[in-house]
Structure 1
Amino acid sequence: MEKINYNPSRLYNIYIVITLKGKKQVGTVTAAERGALVTVVFCMNAVGGFVPPLFVFPRKNMKADLLDGAPPGTIAACHPSGWIQQHIFSQWLQHFIGHIKPSLQDQVLLILDGHYYSHTRNIEVIEMGRKNHVTILCIPPPTSHRMQSLDIAFMSPFKTYDSQQIEMWLKQNPGRIANAFHICKLTCPAYLKSATAEISANGFRKCGIYPLNGNVFADHEFKKCNC
């Protein structure tokens, strides 16, 4: 098998966030639909590049104004559950390829976790990756808490900024209830503050992915995760 030395700008990590609309962790907002889920797919590379996110809204039909205020280039899909599905993840990969434009001379390594069937058992995604020079690598489940760079570096500041946005919105709109049409408007400022080169570089470095660090795990940690 030919060895490929990936440029750090072509090392991408993907993270799928599933959040309750109006859940307490991101503020004291009250949801019109209790328990409704909104899924967001974030993706960044090792040198500060971010792919515009994908939102999955818990409804049957898409409306353009659901994306009002979203980060530039954001895409969306709908499913009654709010969970990402195989065909939606295929849609996201097409979005990723269109944004990154990998080629034979400039191939891409896409790192993701293996928790979702939409990732690991999606033949369409695997074939699409092969045809478009995207190598898909799954993080071993017992190590994702230490090797998921978006979770380690991006999500903490994002959640902090997101909570601040929601609290500000609540103060400015007393008595109002947030719904799906508020999600992007509230998320965009938090996302833009968090999607920085420093944060992405720190995430890959702390995970030992780039620069490559084979000693990111101590010997006793291998015993804990049964690696």
Structure 2
Amino acid sequence: MLTVQSMLNARGQTTKWPANMPSEKWYRLFKKRHPGVVLCTPQKLGKQKALVRKSSIMKCFADFQATVTDFDASILLDPSRIYNCDESGFSLDTSFGKVLSFVGTKFVYQVGSEQKTMITVLVCCSATGHFVHPMMIYPGTQFRGFRLQEVFDDSFITKSKNGWTNQSIFLDWLQQVFHPETAHVKRPILLLVDGHISHQSIGAATFCKDNGIILYALPPHASHLMQPLDVGVFNTMKAKWRKSVKKQNELEIVTKRTFALVFKDAYETTIKRDLAPQAFRNSDIYPLDPNNIEWQKILPDITAEVATRARGCREGR
């Protein structure tokens, strides 16, 4: 309705509707005339991501190909040498959606954590589906209330005041996790990251240069298109996480102390699937082919479209 109002205003048209806002009756008739148009629940898209355009993405792919080719063109043909790492937050307080209840029940509850704590997890995988051990970043200055041995073995645990990654933590991960676990891979190898400041430090750049790691920052606000983990892994992992939390809460509420063991189930279930290779294909990183990207994920330039239509109306077309 607001979109229709905006288009009418851009065209300079006036209608019988107050302030050009369509009526509910018009909306009902519109749906009847266009049965192929349905009401959907949209996915949340940040403002900056909404401004991304096809031309800028194509340029990013061209720059990416040129940069990697300058180092070693054979990397782009070898999926075992292409990695992507990214961080995502996992909340102790998950939303489980609707539950069954008797008609007339006034209060419906579901037991869960009251903590709003978010644990950051860094995940890394290659285009062949090789996952290196995940890193969990706990908020706080010290570990209280649980023992480190309660963390599942195949993981790296650390902490920061706010629970987010930083330059020091990322360098530790490169040195203690990524480099040792990819030592068997032919050098140089490519590590794709986002443009977050935590990935940009002299220490990280120097370590990568000395150890045959090409650290490449993907363009900002385009992770939903170009970053494999965002494109095809994290959604599944978070869905598994919610199920694992729901199961655990039936026995004991998930806390910082038990987070790692509960997360282990979601993580291991996810990486057993063939998600990573498909995610690299869907993001067109491997094989490299930006023409196959899902351009439907980019919002149409409504402003330009409205302006074009308005100009056409003024010219009598």
In the superposition, the TM-score normalised over structure 1's length comes to 0.84
Q: Any conservation in 2 of the 1:37–1:81 contact (CA below 8 Å)?
A: no
Match of 1:188 among 264, 276, 281: 264
2:289 alignment partner in structure 1: 213
Alignment size in residue pairs: 215
Distance 1:67 1:90, change over 3 A: farther
Give deviations 1:19-66, integer Å, cap 9, x for gaps.
3332437996314xx333311100010011001000111121247724
Task: Output the amino acid matched with 2:141.
Answer: K
Alignment of 1:98-109 (within 5 A): 98-101=180-183, 106-109=187-190
**Which runs of no fewer than 5 residues in structure 1 stay unpaired?**
none
Give deviations 1:111-133, integer Å, cap 9, x for gaps.
0111x21113x111111100000
2:125 alignment partner in structure 1: 44
Distance 1:83 1:25, change over 3 A: farther
Task: Output the amino acid matched with 1:117.
Answer: I
Distance 1:159 1:167, change over 3 A: same
1:148 aligns with 2:227: yes
What do you get for the CA RMSD once the two structures are aligned? 2.5
Alignment of 1:1-227 (within 5 A): 1-6=70-75, 7-24=78-95, 29-31=112-114, 34-62=115-143, 65-66=147-148, 68-70=150-152, 72-94=153-175, 95-101=177-183, 106-114=187-195, 116-120=196-200, 122-173=201-252, 177-196=253-272, 198-217=274-293, 221=298
Q: For the residues of structure 2 that align with 1:178 and 1:157, how far apart are their CA atoms? A: 20
> Relative CO higher for 1 or 2, CA cutoff 8 Å, sep ≥ 6?
1
Percent identity over paired residues: 24
Greater radius of gyration (CA): 2
Q: Any conservation in 2 of the 1:67–1:181 contact (CA below 8 Å)?
A: no
Q: For the residues of structure 2 that align with 1:51 and 1:76, how far apart are their CA atoms? A: 14
**Which runs of no fewer than 5 residues in structure 2 stay unpaired?**
1-69, 98-109, 302-317
| SS of corresponding position for 1:201 | helix
